[in-house]
Amino acid sequence: MAFFILGAYTTPMIPASTITVSADALTHNAVTIKSRLPAKTKLCAVVKANAYGHGVKFAVTTLEPYADFFAAATNHEALEVRKLTQRPTLVMDSLKTSALAKCLKQNIHISVCSLNELKILLSAAKKAGTTAQVHIKLNTGMNRFGISGTDEFSCCIKLIKNQPTLTLAGVYTHFGAGDNPSHPRTHGQAKRFKQFLAILPPELKPIIHAANTDTALNFPQYAFDMVRVGIGLYGYGSSTNQNSPPWRGGAERRGGFTPVLTLTSYIAAIQTVAKGQYIGYGTGTRAKRNMTVGIIPLGYADGISRSLSNKGKVIISGLPAPIIGNICMDSFTVDLTENSPTPAGWMSSVAQTDGVAAAEGGVKTLAVGTPVTIIGPDQTAADIAETQGTIAYEVLTGINHCRINYQTKNPNKKSPLS
């Protein structure tokens, strides 16, 4: 199959580049995750970074029937979540004083990573005239944030017990290799975590939580009272297993999870480029033959990484079209040349016919306005991440919602699995 190129609009309206998020897919993923947790384990839905690029309002309103808790990275993010739900909400970042008083007055749970941070929180709670819901973060081997020593942890517990304006709402850690079931690192972190927990006096009953998406699925014995699930809700796995089962391919191969977001655009212009002419910025890309190229109106300002220059692709009419030249701020170029040898699935010959007959002859008719898929069933964010040499998190959170149309599919419609 090949493309038959037309150079005119096929529709009276110019389409828009669009982010589409599926409420059905998000609900399905939440239900699937909950079905694999121990019966009494709570689900904390992580909606930081604009719900991993999916839209925080969409995520919170869709997940509220299924989530026991929500988690954000910053105070300001948590306040946005509070506008949407009264479910308990946790700030996971190390303590920040900006907007802290507002969070305390909204009963948002606050993380502390040291005794000094706890003292600062105590002062802020007294000043705000409210009780702080404290989650102590412990460093058990991630070596990022958190208390590393049991003595400091004991001092925090003592201070909380002696201060009526502090309530120990949670104690938690973060696993660094939950995606690798065969590696001992997770077991080592869990052992260290339990050494901390043994210090807790029996009268204190904080929520104990440690597992992220992959840890919750691969190490159910470490689910504790609550799991914090982020990327899995949106249909992906973590950094090292995103491109291998169960996270690659159809939903049945991704352990039943479905990507929630699609990103589409359209061909905004079609150009004929003679052999030897340059394409785009710089002098590094020249046409090796007479070519037909399409201009897609998205660029690195929209989240299309410049690292995809000359090596990424898009999907047009079910077929891959390679990116050629450098990604620009507002656009990029794809090769629409008939007989292109680069992407698999393109035929080596094209029927010379009009658009109607072309459809019968197996030729895809292209024109300005033809839809283009950047992220979708045939190319997921994980596929793009593999090409870029990064992770799906970066691809998804890098999408700039300010410049792209946004729509929700099946809003407020319950999944048939729920």
Q: Is residue 7 very low, low, confident or very high in pLDDT (cuts 50, 70, 90)?
A: very low
338, pLDDT greater than 70:
no
302 and 362: one domain?
A: yes
35 and 168: one domain?
A: yes
- 324, 279 in Cβ contact below 8 A? yes
- Kindly state the DSSP code that residue 154 receives in the 8-state scheme: H
Residues 6+ apart with CB under 8 A from 108: 75, 78, 79, 82, 89, 90, 91, 133
Tokens of 24: 């059905």
pLDDT confidence of residue 416: 40
13 and 90: one domain?
A: no
122 and 207: one domain?
A: yes
Is residue 245 domain-resident? no
Q: Is residue 171 very low, low, confident or very high in pLDDT (cuts 50, 70, 90)?
A: very high
Q: What CATH code is carried by the domain that includes residue 122? A: 3.20.20.10
| Residues 67-110: tens digit of each pLDDT | 999 999 999 999 999 999 999 999 999 999 999 999 999 999 99
275 and 196: one domain?
A: no
243, pLDDT greater than 70:
no
Percent of the chain clearing pLDDT 70 (strictly above): 85
Average pLDDT, the chain: 88
Q: Is residue 410 very low, low, confident or very high in pLDDT (cuts 50, 70, 90)?
A: confident
CB atoms within 10 A of CB 107: 14
275 and 230: one domain?
A: no
Query: Which residues are marked as active site?
Result: 48, 281
Q: What CATH code is carried by the domain that includes residue 344? A: 2.40.37.10
183, pLDDT greater than 90:
yes
Does residue 248 or residue 384 have the better pLDDT? 384
Which of 62-71, 209-218, 307-316, 365-374 is predicted with the least confidence, judged by mean pLDDT? 365-374
Number of domains composing the chain: 2
Is residue 418 domain-resident? no
223 and 351: one domain?
A: no
pLDDT confidence of residue 290: 94
250, pLDDT greater than 70:
no
Report the distance separating Cα 223 and Cα 287, nearest Å: 55
pLDDT confidence of residue 369: 92
CB atoms within 10 A of CB 412: 8
State how far Cα 8 lies from the chain centre. Answer: 37
Is residue 403 domain-resident? yes
Q: Is residue 345 very low, low, confident or very high in pLDDT (cuts 50, 70, 90)?
A: very low
Is residue 253 domain-resident? no
| Residues 349-364: tens digit of each pLDDT | 222 233 333 333 344 6
Average pLDDT over residues 384-410: 95
399 and 285: one domain?
A: yes
342, pLDDT greater than 60:
no
7 and 42: one domain?
A: no
Tokens of 326: 């450098």
Q: Which residue range(s) make up the domain with 192?
A: 23-234
Q: Is residue 321 very low, low, confident or very high in pLDDT (cuts 50, 70, 90)?
A: very high
| Residues 119-137: tens digit of each pLDDT | 999 999 999 999 999 999 9
Q: Concatenate the DSSP letters of all residues of 173-196 into one string.
A: ---S-TT-TT-THHHHHHHHHHHH
Q: Within 106-250, where are the H helices? A: 115-128, 150-161, 185-197, 213-218
Q: Is residue 380 very low, low, confident or very high in pLDDT (cuts 50, 70, 90)?
A: very high
| Residues 196-237: tens digit of each pLDDT | 999 999 999 999 999 999 999 999 999 999 999 999 999 998
13 and 31: one domain?
A: no
Is residue 241 domain-resident? no
pLDDT confidence of residue 256: 80
379, pLDDT greater than 90:
yes
Is residue 273 domain-resident? yes
Average pLDDT over residues 281-309: 96
Q: Is residue 15 very low, low, confident or very high in pLDDT (cuts 50, 70, 90)?
A: confident
219 and 301: one domain?
A: no
pLDDT confidence of residue 282: 93
304 and 187: one domain?
A: no
51, pLDDT greater than 50:
yes
Is residue 255 domain-resident? no
